[in-house]
Amino acid sequence: MRLILEVSHLKNATPATVSRGGVLFVNDSDVGWRPYFDSWINKYKKSDDDIADSVFQLALSTYLNDTIVDDLRGKSHITPVCDMQCCQSLTMILDKLYERLHSIKAQHDFLKRLKEEGQVDRIKEIYEAFFVFAVMWAYGASLDEDKVSFSNSIKSLTNGNLKFPEAGQVFDYFYDVIEGKWTHWDEVVGDYNKEFEGLFENLVVPTADTTRQNFLLDLHVLAKKGMIFVGAAGTGKTTIISNYFSALDKDATITSSMNFNSYTDS
């Protein structure tokens, strides 16, 4: 009998195992994340969106040059991260923001009007803002004490219409495509459901935190990518996830909850 096993990766395999697999093992730290980014950006070249291609390439040299990436490696993270992981999150967020721009009617019509009027600079601002937003969350979401310094660095790099408000951190804002400015999450918080009849422990009052977390969850669900909530006990991780799951389309999504505690083992 012959058995063929197909694995998703060989990250945890020994060199001997890799050699038997008939493949060449290359350490991701030797290659770096740039080849992945270059491969990803090619699809925008093929789609004939020269504006997106040029803006993303320029934004990369501005917001993620070698000096900035090296500085990020030395910052304090709440959970271990690697360069490739951050790059994959960056490209995923950019893809989903780009898709939303072309799928949400109000944004699509606005973009169409800008193209008809030849407002190329305004379109470039939108794409650059998407890149800044993606950098914020792909590289800054896992930071611990260094979140403030990271926020200040991002603020110092933006200028013109993309300049962040002085108040708060960059994580407090999202880019409003139609208004053309950074808008605080407080301004889009949903209304409290006064008709809620469930258990009190399941009651969730919308805040700026839950609104932005749900937005990021939406992006990951659309991309079919995993996401992990990290934080101390009592910070609302389970409540936020449970509330998000309850609002998903039951015909398109199956959810399952498993409870773990300090006594749980494998």
pLDDT recorded at residue 101 = 92
CATH number of 31-161+169-183: 1.10.472.130
Residues 6+ apart with CB under 8 A from 58: 128
**Positions of E strands within the chain:** 173-176, 181-184
pLDDT tens-digit series, residues 92-102: 999 999 999 99
CA angle 151/58/214 to nearest 5° reads 45
pLDDT of residue 24: 66
CA distance 77 to 150: 12
Cβ neighbours of 86 (radius 10 Å): 21
Average pLDDT of the chain is 86
Report the share of the chain in percent with pLDDT over 90.
Answer: 41
pTM, two decimals, is 0.85
* Burial of 139 (C-beta count, 10 Å sphere; 0-12/13-18/19+): buried
Q: Are 175 and 133 in contact (CB under 8 A)?
A: yes
Please report, for the chain, the start and end positions of each structural domain, with discontinuous segments joined by +: 31-161+169-183, 200-246
pLDDT at 184 over 90: yes
